[in-house]
Structure 1
Amino acid sequence: MALLLNIDTATENASIALSENGKAVLTMVNNQQRDHASWIQPAIQDLLKKTGRTMQELQAVAVTAGPGSYTGLRVGMATAKGLCFALGIPMITENTLRVMAYAATVQTFPNGDEYRIKAGLKNGTLLCPMIDARRMEVFTALYDLGLNIVQNPAAIILDADSFNKELENNSILFLGNGSAKWKPVCNHPNAFFADVNQTAEHLAPLAEVLFLQEKFADLAYEEPVYLKEFYSHIKK
């Protein structure tokens, strides 16, 4: 049982959550992607103040390690490392795509729970989180309903034949901001789409399991999971 600070700055919405025993006590969200770096430290102080807890009570810091926004990942990782070094506590990392997949299993969807009615979240259903990686490229992976990896996280370029083999034998729920550009291309009857909003609250239960298993990251050598090299449009 642990008191954890959970950090997710991997996508357009940054969030932090204080969790106890794997359940979020309070979650705070920032929707301005360019402000993640300036928002996070004051937000952590505000989070602790509102929950009546202190930095010294934290037992670990968990962070989404990627894939995702290059800058966002660096903000989250640097923040987590700095706190862990200063407080002498362990750091826990989790793949962003796995957090997204978990969020899909616990989120209630609107419009009559359309996805659960059609696909049933039954045996044979796979979860495919997608993060936009420019043009028709996405960061993605496939998970079963137990969040076990079926297809390893990777950066792929989508086309009309993507996931054809997997869709023949499985219903697949596509989610995340990358799935918006895949939806008009994919016409397979076993493909379903849903808006799933993950936050640091969804990182919390996954981080709790890793904490109890003592699966901690190496503070000195842990790096974000980028999946592809960063590039800039700025001309030199």
Structure 2
Amino acid sequence: MYVLGIEAATPVAGVALTEDGRILAERLVNNRRTHSVNLLPMIKAVIEEGGITREQVNGIAVSAGPGSFTGLRIGLATAKTLALAWQVPVVGVSTLEALALPLAAPGQLVCPILNARKNEVYASILRGTTGQPELLAGPLAVGIVELAGILAQWQEPVIFLGDGVPVFKEEIVNLLADRAVFAPQSALLPRGAAVAELGYRELAAGRGLSPLELKASYIRLSEAEVKLAARCRK
């Protein structure tokens, strides 16, 4: 089964093509160009580099949140449009679980964090297993102090990764001391291959969706929705 994985929920644009979970081709761009500019050329490239045609793609996996509202909409719109045009199922996967997957060794506690602005992060707490990582808490939109309180339930070291790390690293160290371990720069950012791997598991189990069924997981309201709700309360 050939699965196309699309990551656009963060400042990183990532695309990968996998065959039964094996990575055939992958591209990652972390620049200031919008995902609407980057994604389609990257998708075209990984399909060509994977040695197949678009007619051979069996399904599409896309990072469905939480994350950047704009990035999520671009990624989901791209995945839905391609799934409709190619007549293949699509599946949304957790941005945080995809971020954690490469570092989720059995027994390892992993906490991916994305900068959610307003002094908060989007976070989940996962424990690695021999299969899919076990979700212990989340996804959440929380401050670092509250997140540290949740992590107090477990005593072992925690690996942090994601674009929230550079922003909140000092605060995390102050709160968790030597329990906090930080992923190397090369593993800090999300990958299209992890999205494709998680998506493959869903698609292989028959849990693919039609494009109209695919929804984003925003976790909290956008700024525009918050302002609209405030006006409606007046």
TM-score calculated relative to the size of structure 2? 0.84
State the 1:165 CA deviation: 5.1
C-alpha spacing 1:97/1:224, structure 2 compared with 1 (3 Å)? same
- Aligned partner of 1:231 among 217, 223, 226: 223
C-alpha spacing 1:164/1:155, structure 2 compared with 1 (3 Å)? closer
Map residues 211-222 of structure 1 onto 2, 5 A cutoff.
211-222=203-214
In the alignment, does 2:183 pair up with 1:194? yes
C-alpha spacing 1:28/1:104, structure 2 compared with 1 (3 Å)? same
- Report the secondary structure of 1:17's partner residue: strand
C-alpha spacing 1:33/1:93, structure 2 compared with 1 (3 Å)? farther
State the 1:221 CA deviation: 3.1
Task: Tell me which residue corresponds to 1:66.
Answer: 65
Moved more, 46-55 or 18-27: 46-55
Q: Is the 1:103–1:198 Cα contact (8 Å) retained in structure 2?
A: no
Mark the runs of 5 or more structure 1 residues left unpaired by the alignment.
Answer: 106-120
In structure 1, how many angstroms separate the alpha carbons of the residues matched to 2:137 and 2:127? 10
Task: Tell me which residue corresponds to 1:171.
Answer: 157
Q: Report the RMSD for the aligned CA atoms in angstroms.
A: 2.0
Q: Is the 2:157–2:179 Cα contact (8 Å) retained in structure 1?
A: yes
- Aligned partner of 1:205 among 197, 204, 208: 197
Mark the runs of 5 or more structure 2 residues left unpaired by the alignment.
Answer: 228-234
Map residues 43-192 of structure 1 onto 2, 5 A cutoff.
43-105=42-104, 123=107, 125-146=108-129, 147-159=133-145, 162-164=147-149, 166-167=151-152, 169-186=155-172, 187=174, 188=176, 189-192=178-181
- Report the secondary structure of 2:170's partner residue: coil
State the 1:24 CA deviation: 1.3
TM-score calculated relative to the size of structure 1? 0.83
C-alpha spacing 1:41/1:150, structure 2 compared with 1 (3 Å)? same
- Report the secondary structure of 1:47's partner residue: helix
Match of 1:131, as an amino acid?
L
Q: Is the 2:81–2:211 Cα contact (8 Å) retained in structure 1?
A: no
In structure 2, how many angstroms separate the alpha carbons of the residues matched to 1:139 and 1:38? 26
Q: Which has the higher helix share?
A: 2
For residues 45-79 of structure 1, what are the alpha-carbon distances to aligned partners after superposition, in whole Å with 9 as ceiling and x for unaligned? 22223333211111001101011111111111111
Aligned residues: 215
Identity %: 28
Q: Is the 2:14–2:26 Cα contact (8 Å) retained in structure 1?
A: yes
